[in-house]
Amino acid sequence: MKAEAGQLSAKLAAAQDEVEKFRTSQARLTAELAARTQELEAARVATRAPLQERDALRSQMSDMFTKLSDAERRLGQLTQAAGEAEKTRGDLAARQEKYRGVEKAAEQHGASVAELTGVNEKITNEKAALDQQLAQSRQSLELARAETTGLRAENAKLGAADRQHEARAE
């Protein structure tokens, strides 16, 4: 019984270490996400800049989504580790009341996941808005090109008519 309790205590300690690592990683990721959110806001302002700036923003967004994918992958691994810690905590909870702190950590983890999900939705919405702005800019550019082509053709016709008129006048 003591050996089993010792093993469970060791598992709990390992799970608590993993939860602490998760918290540290989560804090770092939250800081990175906040920094990336600020970068995205700066990118939104810069969409009015030339095409070179637009390409730079696309690169930054790609980097952010790569980091987000990595964070989601790590979150999946950490969620799995938290599940194992939860099982171990359940086994020990029947024997020892003092290990209830792990449950509180799991609740904090859930809140952090909800927060990250909200931030992810915000980034997705901002990306959609940027894509829409880009599409509108492209449409405006095409309309301007078509109008310019029409004006050039009309200008050429008027120039030819002026030359004919001048030739007749002479």
pLDDT tens digits for range 120-139? 899 999 999 999 999 999 99
Q: Is 22 exposed, middle or buried (0-12, 13-18, 19+ CB in 10 A)?
A: buried
Contact of 98 with 84, CB cutoff 8 Å: no
Cα three-residue angle 9-15-16, rounded to 5 degrees: 90
**Across the chain, what does the average pLDDT equal?**
83
Contact of 78 with 25, CB cutoff 8 Å: yes
Residue spans of the domains in the chain: they are: 2-127
- pTM of the full structure: 0.32
Confidence grade of residue 99 (pLDDT, cut at 50, 70, 90): very low
Is the pLDDT reported for residue 104 higher than 60?
Answer: yes
Calpha distance 52→56 (Å, rounded): 6
